[in-house]
Amino acid sequence: MLDFEAALAQAEAETGLIPKAAAGPIAACCRADFLDLAALAESAVKAGNLAIPMVKQLTALVAKGDADAARFVHWGATSQDAIDTGMVLQLRAFLHALDTDLGALCAALAALVEAHRHTPMVGRTWLQQALPITFGLKAAGWLDAVERNRERLRAARPRLLTLQFGGAAGTLAALGDGGMAVSLALAARLDLALPAIPWHGHRDRIAEAGAALGLLIGTLGKIASDVALCMQTEVGELMEPAGEGRGGSSTMPHKRNPVASAAVLAAAARAPGLVATLLSAMPQQHERGLGNWHAEWIALPELCRLAGGAVHWTVDTVKGLEVHGDRMARNLEATGGLILAEAVQMALAGKLGRLAAHDLVEAACRRATAENRHLRDVLREAAEVTAVLTAAEIDCLLDPRGYLGLTQDFIDRVLRTP
């Protein structure tokens, strides 16, 4: 907000709205360490927002050195101009830092994808074993989603990073004929876009920022969920990075808990309610809203904090992730070949028809389960199967590495995405 006040004074002096001699003393006092923050917080409760007592303190500070300059503090602006533009300036700094962290995450994920593009593992649907995939394919899905979120935030920046300057009711009437010139100069000084019209009562920009952050946090929550599920003792395919004091238990010495995943999932659980608050705040009353605007002040910063923390934890996890390919291989064998029943069915379908092949393989699966036998052995005993498939062909069909479809093509497409 102080950056806004300094730039406003300089823009108004530049355009002749206030004396040129006033801009320097005002800008020189626009430093947060000059303010009494405790008094500011106390006064804001009664004032209804933080800008009103801030402007009073700033005016008093300027007056100590230059009483004439103090007359022109906050000239023609309104509290919401300072608050909204201050928030936009903070949002810009945050989005820049977030984009840097997302770049690091994308790089770490790309390395993970490449390293494990051929590492076979179980693909799961409805939490049950489905078909073979590779861990590289799973990680490529993570990377593709993170890249979409990064691009979504980048695409929104021109709309989000927009000056708010309309005066009391969005007309800048207090500045007379100089309002547009000041607006142009102010936007240039702050390096913000100048909107077609002040947006005090139209909060889609803020809602868009919150929604984009909510989508990012949800995406990171999906990654955290995958990692945590793969860390379960009975699965044992992945492990978060180890470290002194990390993931332990106060009572069970053997525990290694997915603490990073827990932090990200906690953020993902909180984000939807905060996004909903921003969406609920959009129908504001007339030219400047009452109450719903105020609700944004907690929701958007909290979403930023959650997003920043979730990205941090995800980068940490991906960079140090332990991948247990041997356990992935063992889990592929856990069903005794049933995970590749579809591969056998499709091979038989070309000779017997899809429905007949389905019924035949389904019966073989039921028998293998009932008798606790490997599907390979049951198929080799089925005359209808051996009539069209050799033992070597059955073995080949039950090799997880032979039923990965377009896995490598999909991975290549993700890795080629800029």
Q: For residue 380, what is the domain's CATH number?
A: 1.10.40.30
One domain, residues 61 and 131? no
One domain, residues 375 and 242? no
Give the domain CATH number at 73.
1.10.275.10
Distance CA 25, CA 234 (A): 68
Q: Which two tokens stand for residue 32?
A: 């947060």
Q: Which residue has the higher pLDDT, 168 or 253?
A: 168
Distance CA 89, CA 295 (A): 19
One domain, residues 72 and 87? no
Distances from the Cα of 82 to the Cα of 66, 167, 180, 332, angstroms: 22, 10, 17, 59
418: in domain: no
Residue 248 is predicted with a pLDDT of: 59
18: in domain: yes
63: in domain: yes
Domain interval for residue 36:
2-77
One domain, residues 134 and 30? no
86: in domain: yes
One domain, residues 235 and 100? yes
393: in domain: yes
Whether 157 sits among the annotated catalytic residues: the reply is no
One domain, residues 245 and 126? yes
Distance CA 202, CA 296 (A): 13
pLDDT at 266 over 70: yes
Q: What is the pLDDT of residues 13-32, one digit of tens each?
A: 999 999 999 999 999 999 99
Model confidence band, residue 242 (pLDDT cutoffs 50, 70, 90)? confident
One domain, residues 208 and 310? yes
Distance CA 41, CA 185 (A): 31
Whether 205 sits among the annotated catalytic residues: the reply is no
One domain, residues 364 and 390? yes
Point out the catalytic residue in the list 288, 327, 373, 380. 288
Give the domain CATH number at 91.
1.20.200.10
55: in domain: yes
402: in domain: no
Residue 256 is predicted with a pLDDT of: 83
One domain, residues 249 and 123? yes
Distance CA 330, CA 179 (A): 71
One domain, residues 145 and 242? yes
Q: Which two tokens stand for residue 72?
A: 């022109």
pLDDT at 245 over 90: no
pLDDT at 95 over 70: yes
Distance CA 135, CA 322 (A): 12
The reported pTM is: 0.93
30: in domain: yes
One domain, residues 213 and 134? yes
Task: Count Cβ neighbours within 10 Å for each residue of 43-66 and write b for 16 or more, e otherwise.
Answer: beeebeebbbbbbbbbbebbbeeb
Looking at 43, 58, 77, the residue that finishes a domain is 77
Point out the catalytic residue in the list 249, 280, 330, 354. 249
One domain, residues 21 and 113? no
Model confidence band, residue 249 (pLDDT cutoffs 50, 70, 90)? low
Query: What does pLDDT average to over the chain?
Result: 95
Number of domains in the chain: 3
Q: What is the pLDDT of residues 47-56, one digit of tens each?
A: 999 999 999 9
